[in-house]
Amino acid sequence: MKSLFSGCSVVVVGDVMVDHYIWGDASRISPEAPVPVVHVHKEEYRPGGAANVAANVVGLGGEADLIAFYGKDFGGNILEALAKKYMYNFDKSIVVEGFKTIRKTRVVARAQQVVRVDWEEKLILDGAKEEILWQRLSNKPSACRVLVISDYGKGMIGDQRAAKLIHWARERNMDVVIDPKPPAKKGYCGATVVTPNRKEAEIMSGESIDTLLDAERVASKLRQELELEALFLTLGGDGMMLATEDGCAHYPALEQEVYDVSGAGDTVVACVALSIAAGLDYHVASQLAMITAGVAVSKVGTAVVHWEDVLKTKEWNTLRETISKG
């Protein structure tokens, strides 16, 4: 079946990184220290951060243009190769000399993560690099209806740049979907949609979320404070709370075994952005986001969800009937 998102185009701006996986088995403890000895079977590189958002957009049947700064190094070469593999557009001319591309290495033994090692430094954009960002944005196709801001707090976004990006998009009648990173918050005001997880929402609101009533109150509060059309609050195993001008609605998570939550938020952002680009309402977008997130967490490691994965779920058959009825 043709994807609902076929022909939908999204621009993604944000922090990119390489997710590096080392897969193996651990059957004994090292004589040198009380740590497992991992016998390596293979290693793998996957797109991370904003790059994972772009890869999921394409996987779900849309088109993605990724704008992000990265280093002219081994990690940068990997990012360029991943763009070709996952078929999203990635401008290779916006490298930062001397900057080390962020890389997160996870050692996984028998589907269990043993340790994670991060190579990263905060990106600092000078005036010249800032100008390049706006030039690249201005060259993007006018058919792009949605701008995704993927803020991982690594220096690409932040309050001031987020506010400028929202203003830029609004001038072009584009919707803006933000995957937030506290403590940044003020710069998100005026976006179309923000998609915090439980912890992020707690930090942004200054309130704890222990029950669904807490989630409803916090989601409504943040939506009003940030002047959003909608706020999608992801709650892990408790599903999602959607807050709109009409009130709140809760959507439960799929009942299935969870292997890894890494990157599930990226999948949700990609799905919500594509749903907006396709003209779907927020309630349908929430249900689609729950389906795609369920697929993502059923896989080990940061995963790209494909439209074919959605079609295989029993929840899709029910939702398809809802969509066909208009």
Residues known to be catalytic: 266
- Cross-strand bridge partners of residue 240: 234, 251
Cα–Cα distance between 288 and 295 in angstroms, integer?
Answer: 11
Tokens of 230: 């909608």
Tokens of 250: 């809760």
Contact between 88 and 111 (Cβ < 8 Å): no
Distances (CA, A) of 55 to 107, 220, 305: 23, 30, 9
DSSP string, 4-63: TTTT-EEEEEE-EEEEEEEEEEEEEE-SSSSSEEEEEEEEEEEEEEHHHHHHHHHHTT-E
Cα–Cα distance between 203 and 205 in angstroms, integer?
Answer: 6
Name 142's Cβ contacts closer than 8 Å, sequence gap at least 6: 172
Helices 282-297 and 264-277 sit at what angle, rounded to 10 degrees?
150
Tokens of 54: 């772009």
Cα–Cα distance between 172 and 21 in angstroms, integer?
Answer: 39
